Amino acid sequence: MSINCTLSHPIALETPYNMICHKEITGLLFTTLIAVNLLGSAQSSGACDMPKETKIVIVGAGASGIAAASSLLKRGVSDFVILEANDRIGGRIYTKNFGENVVDLGAQWVHGESGNVVFDLASKHDLLSSDAFLFNSTKFEFATVNGEIIPVEESSAAMRIHRNNMAKIKPEDYKEVTGSYEDYLIRKYYEAFDENPFMNRTRVADYLAWIEKMENSIQCSDAWFDVSAKAMEEYWDCESDPTLNWKDRGYKTFLDLLMQNIPNGEERLPVMERIEFGKVVATINYSSGENVTVTTRDRCEYFTRHVIFTGSLGVLKEKHSTMFVPPLSQKKQRTIEGLNIGTTNKVFFEFPHRWWPEDKASFNFIWPEKVKEEFLQTYGQSSEWLCDVFTFYTVTYQPNLLCAWITGKNARHIETLSDVDVYDGLYLLLNKSFGEHYNIVKPTRMLRSKWYTDEHFRGSYTFHSMVFEQMNVKLRELAEPIMSGNKPIILFAGESTHDHHYSTVHGAVETGFREADRLINFERTCDRLDQLTIDNFDQALRIEIDASARRMERTRVVIVGAGIAGLAAAKTLEDAGFTDYLLLEAQDVVGGRIHSVPWGNGWIDCGAQFLHGDKSRLAQYCFNSDLLSNIQGTDGDGIFLRDDGTIMNESLVRKVDDLYVGGPEHLLFKYGYSSLTNLLVDNLNERKVRLATPVETIHWRDSVDSPNDSPIIVKTFEETQILTDAVIVTCSLGYLKENHRKMFQPLLPSRLSIAIEDLGFGTINKIFLDFGEPWWQKGVNGFQLLWRRDADHQSLPEWTKDLTGFDVLPTHPATLIVWVGGRGACIVDDLSEETIAQDCRNLLTRYLRCRNIPP
């Protein structure tokens, strides 16, 4: 096909699509790829006459969709279809033939080794190499657009400050930071620079502007000040080399690893056979509450039990309100609103030969204010986008290529420009900056990405913005599946749903595995309901199942007890992005031995009362949540009395009481200790917490015969059975002592049984005496009783001998709190309140030698 057109450039301009056409340009024939939306050789089912039924629909064949599909197939689940809007797999992994081999228009580097699933798969086959050379600042060439080359000694020193600062920052350092990423990094930069200034501060600002653009390309933000510094604590780096490349094969190689095309094609998983290309999902209707109907733009319908949605955050932002029927929950909508996805684009130039030295890693641009003004006056505001092109990197394994990077609003803007405009602008920038020092030849070909204007992406990858911080939303809220009872009907995967590895391929892959696991575990439960018999379990796990009377559920983890330990366990799981659990509490309130009740105009704590010390993680959580009172609590304080009325020397008492936890011993809560447990439970998924659900038995075994088995069934007194992989038991030692032999079937191993039975577990009770008005002198914190061994205590009630004293309650100055332990604590359980009050009054009268203590 021949097209007549006028171009002044001896160049083939390429955009990432599939149709080749020929253009005659000044008598020369060049090959170019033009932007047409053809499916080419990719398979598409076209319009559908009849609805299709399948167990699972995966929306998107990017890294997370392919990971989910591969995981399902490896575990014997094949009844699914993948709907892919494009004519290729990979999503934001996009490897194109260009130059001498390939380039990556999207994901390019494997970021780190430790804990990186991509590295784990690739390293076995020697597929990776390092691009560390590209980030050696001594190999950077810096210039201004008027041709001033910056001495490498100056530029590398400027870069070194930032690199050293980043190396020193630990994730926990971000926790206390207020404000944006920009505020934090600029402050750190100037602090380091001022220790050894080597250039004027105006030049520092020029370098910081370049560093900002470079950091924006990493974060995928429009500006530094958009990025939340505090949220950076949530991002987890994988240790070791963060710039591993795929040699001359490109990131698409990883997709072959997932589908087991490497190392042996004979073991290939049939993922491609389950992909329908050109399928743009229009609606996902889950209004029936049981099954889901997925409708595509070409009016195909798919009836399914489950949907794994792996589309980008950009697609969700643009289409969630029309795509999901009924609309997503308000929590999910707020999360989508609060999260941000930015745009980073690349433009590749191919030259007829390399005109730069081999030891140059990149060509970079700084823009002093005056130089920028002169440039825009000369070339106009329409060229302002060039000011955001911060570098041309060399390309490993491609000796004749340079790659320009641009991010933010101008990355989106250049997608609207013609290839000719982009080519002209970038060549102008390169030539004006470096042309006096290098013999720069014109590129012969250009290839560029367009991640924002592509309706199937609407951006490159996710970052945590200041809006995200201000709205206090969490990635895990996007990752939570939509449930119908205990059945996950719509599941969410993709890099934007990963708590700690968002913006990465390895994060996307982990979420695909996560949702495949979720479905497989659910389906195993359903299969077990149909097939479970006595023979499914060994003799130790044999149980009677009455399907008509009992309900069977499935979850990965059961937490028994919603006291502070159980709530902390649940919080830790959710903070790590793990939501497949249930928290079962026997009482109708959470807290366990934390129990605050209203008293007068405030609260008293019938159980735990003090936070001991201010150095623990719990203390920091309470401080950060503003739970603690400014009033300092006391325990065992005040006047120390013998039963003959003698008052002991206070300094002697202090000397004996000189050992304590470090920091304040008796921190009080503003609204009772229960404010802590209430806060914890309020921040949990309410569907995961079940009150008034006592556990009857835990049937367990220490091994399983196949991956389809789970080792534990938890049975409640409500006739519910819960199949699970793990149980966290947090009930008290007292409860275990009384119930462990009937609670666990079979019995626990002898070492655990002996530990439960041999450990001590005592009782302390509190008694609160409200006198209306204090009858003691101002400043008295309490009355502590010193019992003499040789004294005659026969006339006293037995329980009072285990009473330590009377403390003035700091939050209620007319109330005395009595602490009683040992046998006495058990005795008072059976006494009336009137008897206890009278016994206390008599005891105070004896020790204080005071007859006018009010009743």
* Chain segment 197-216, per-residue pLDDT in tens: 888 888 899 999 999 999 99
At residue 814 the predicted structure's pLDDT band, cuts being 50, 70 and 90, is confident
8 A C-beta contact, residue 486 and residue 42: no
8 A C-beta contact, residue 52 and residue 301: yes
Percent of the chain, pLDDT > 70?
83
8 A C-beta contact, residue 710 and residue 666: no
Q: Do domains 132-238+344-448 and 552-627+670-730 have the same CATH topology?
A: no
Tens digits of per-residue pLDDT, 22-47?
332 223 222 233 232 323 334 444 55
The span from the first CA to the last CA of the chain, in angstroms, equals 107
Partners of 820 in the beta sheet?
765, 803
Whether residue 553 has pLDDT greater than 80: yes
Task: Write the DSSP symbol of residue 585.
Answer: -
Count CB neighbours of 671 within 10 A.
Answer: 14
Output 107 or 793, whichever has higher pLDDT. 107
Q: What's the pLDDT at 25?
A: 27
Least confident of 146-150, 162-166, 706-710: 706-710
Q: What's the pLDDT at 681?
A: 82
| Domain extent listing, the chain | 52-94+247-337+459-519, 132-238+344-448, 552-627+670-730, 632-663+762-854
Whether residue 541 has pLDDT greater than 50: no
Q: What's the pLDDT at 34?
A: 27
Q: What's the pLDDT at 22?
A: 30
Output 556 or 540, whichever has higher pLDDT. 556
Of 548, 462, 467, nearest in space to 507 by CA: 462
Task: Return the residue matching tokens 């909508």.
Answer: 333
pTM of the entire predicted model: 0.61
Tens digits of per-residue pLDDT, 724-756?
989 999 999 989 988 988 888 877 876 787 788
Partners of 722 in the beta sheet?
553, 714
Output 93 or 747, whichever has higher pLDDT. 93
What is the domain class of 632-663+762-854 according to CATH?
alpha beta
Q: What's the pLDDT at 388?
A: 96
Q: What average pLDDT does the structure give for the chain? A: 83
Whether residue 305 has pLDDT greater than 50: yes
Of 803, 758, 757, 756, nearest in space to 784 by CA: 803
Q: What's the pLDDT at 469?
A: 84
Strand order across the beta sheet in which 2-4 lies: 2-4, 19-25, 28-34
Task: Write the DSSP symbol of residue 22.
Answer: E
Q: What's the pLDDT at 543?
A: 38
Count CB neighbours of 832 within 10 A.
Answer: 9
Specify the CATH number for 552-627+670-730; select among 1.10.15.40, 3.40.190.290, 3.40.640.10, 3.50.50.60.
3.50.50.60
Q: What's the pLDDT at 535?
A: 37
Instruction: List alpha helices for 402-504, DSSP H.
Output: 409-414, 419-434, 466-471, 475-479
Percent of the chain, pLDDT > 90?
47
Using CA atoms, how far apart are residues 495 and 505, in angstroms rounded to an integer? 7
Tens digits of per-residue pLDDT, 330-379?
999 999 999 999 999 999 999 999 999 999 999 999 999 999 999 999 99
Q: What's the pLDDT at 660?
A: 47
CA distances to 22, 404, 457, 479, 499 from 512, rounded to whole Å, are: 41, 31, 18, 11, 14
At residue 75 the predicted structure's pLDDT band, cuts being 50, 70 and 90, is confident
Of 212, 222, 216, 225, nearest in space to 366 by CA: 212
8 A C-beta contact, residue 815 and residue 770: yes
Q: Please name the amino acid found at residue 544.
A: E
Burial 51-67 (b: 16+ CB within 10 A, else e): eeebebbbbbbbbbbbb
Spell out the residues 6+ positions from residue 139 whose beta carbon is closer than 8 angstroms to its own.
133, 359, 360, 361, 362
3-state helix, strand, coil in the chain (%, to 5): 35, 25, 40
Q: What's the pLDDT at 785?
A: 78
Specify the CATH number for 132-238+344-448; select among 1.20.210.10, 3.90.660.10, 1.10.10.60, 3.40.47.10.
3.90.660.10
Whether residue 569 has pLDDT greater than 90: yes
Whether residue 122 has pLDDT greater than 90: yes
Q: What's the pLDDT at 39?
A: 33
Quote the radius of gyration of the chain (alpha carbons, Å): 34
Q: What's the pLDDT at 256?
A: 96
Tens digits of per-residue pLDDT, 311-336?
999 999 999 999 999 999 999 999 99
Whether residue 300 has pLDDT greater than 90: yes
Using CA atoms, how far apart are residues 488 and 308, in angstroms rounded to an integer? 10
Q: What's the pLDDT at 37?
A: 32
8 A C-beta contact, residue 309 and residue 284: yes
Question: For the chain, give me the number of helices (H) and strands (E)?
Answer: 22, 43
Q: Which CATH architecture has domain 52-94+247-337+459-519?
A: 3-Layer(bba) Sandwich (3.50)
Q: What's the pLDDT at 502?
A: 93
At residue 534 the predicted structure's pLDDT band, cuts being 50, 70 and 90, is very low
Question: How confident is the model over 707-719, as a mean pLDDT?
Answer: 77
Using CA atoms, how far apart are residues 229 and 174, in angstroms rounded to an integer? 6
Count CB neighbours of 636 within 10 A.
Answer: 16
Q: What's the pLDDT at 549?
A: 38
Output 529 or 283, whichever has higher pLDDT. 283
Count CB neighbours of 468 within 10 A.
Answer: 24
Q: Which two tokens stand for residue 695?
A: 């556990």
